[in-house]
Amino acid sequence: MKEDSLSYKTYVEIRKKILSNQLVGGVRLVESAWAKKLNVSRVAIREAFMRLAGEHLVEFGEKGGCFVKQITTEDIKEIRELRELIEVGALKILFNKKDQEVIKELELICDDFSSMVEKGYYGGACEADVRFHEKIIESTGNERLLHIYNNSNIPLFHLKLGNAMSHMDDYKQTEMEHRKIVEYLKKGKIKESVDTLIEHLDRGERESIEF
């Protein structure tokens, strides 16, 4: 298999573990250990680390080493503002597209989130939460919008929120908000869908800061 393919698969695997809270902020990612664990070369690991750094999910220490990036209160506030601009805009684009297949895909992600919560797989629920919001952006078909989304520390907001969601009620509230966003979009009620999204983001900011 080509080195770039191995690098991409490595990137996807480590990224998934970061966003599902299996790797928390401040944890050091040892190049040799990951190479052995994933059975790839250290070159592939290094390239994956660089890609993750480009998305601000990891950072390199002054004395060397790669670490999962920690998020500050100021980061949370700035990311929250950016998310509203990007995701509200994306919802409006989806409303104009009126693509029922996108609605079905979002509903399936909601079902996956529910299933993970019911089984107590909270890491999987966090992954489904990330997929829900990424799907909204991806479904616009706007590559520039997706690029901004992926390179704005937004995944770290999900990571911080995942750490803050410690009770079943937190997950149930997220599920309810996701489903309302989709249902309003499905019914052509764009204002209600946008208002619910903003409430959802506001709650996420509050819980992340309080954690």
Domains 6-68 and 73-210 share a fold: no
User: Residue 75 — very low, low, confident or very high, per pLDDT cuts 50/70/90?
Assistant: confident
H-helix or E-strand spanning residue 28: strand 28-29
pTM: 0.72
Nearest to 209 by CA among 70, 75, 88: 75
Fold of 73-210: Four Helix Bundle (Hemerythrin (Met), subunit A) (1.20.120)
CA distance 172 to 174: 5
Q: What is the pLDDT of residues 7-46, one digit of tens each?
A: 999 999 998 888 777 888 889 999 999 999 999 999 999 9
CA distance 147 to 142: 9
205 with 84: CB under 8 angstroms? Answer: no
Q: What is the mean pLDDT of residues 58-72?
A: 88
Is residue 136 exposed (0-12), middle (13-18) or buried (19+ Cβ within 10 Å)? buried
Class of the CATH domain delimited by 6-68: mainly alpha
CA distance 17 to 85: 27
What residue spans define the domains of the chain?
6-68, 73-210
130 with 160: CB under 8 angstroms? Answer: no
Strand, coil or helix: what is 172? helix
Half-sphere exposure of 206 (CA within 13 A, CB side): 7
Q: What is the pLDDT of residues 169-205, one digit of tens each?
A: 788 899 999 999 999 999 999 999 999 999 999 988 8
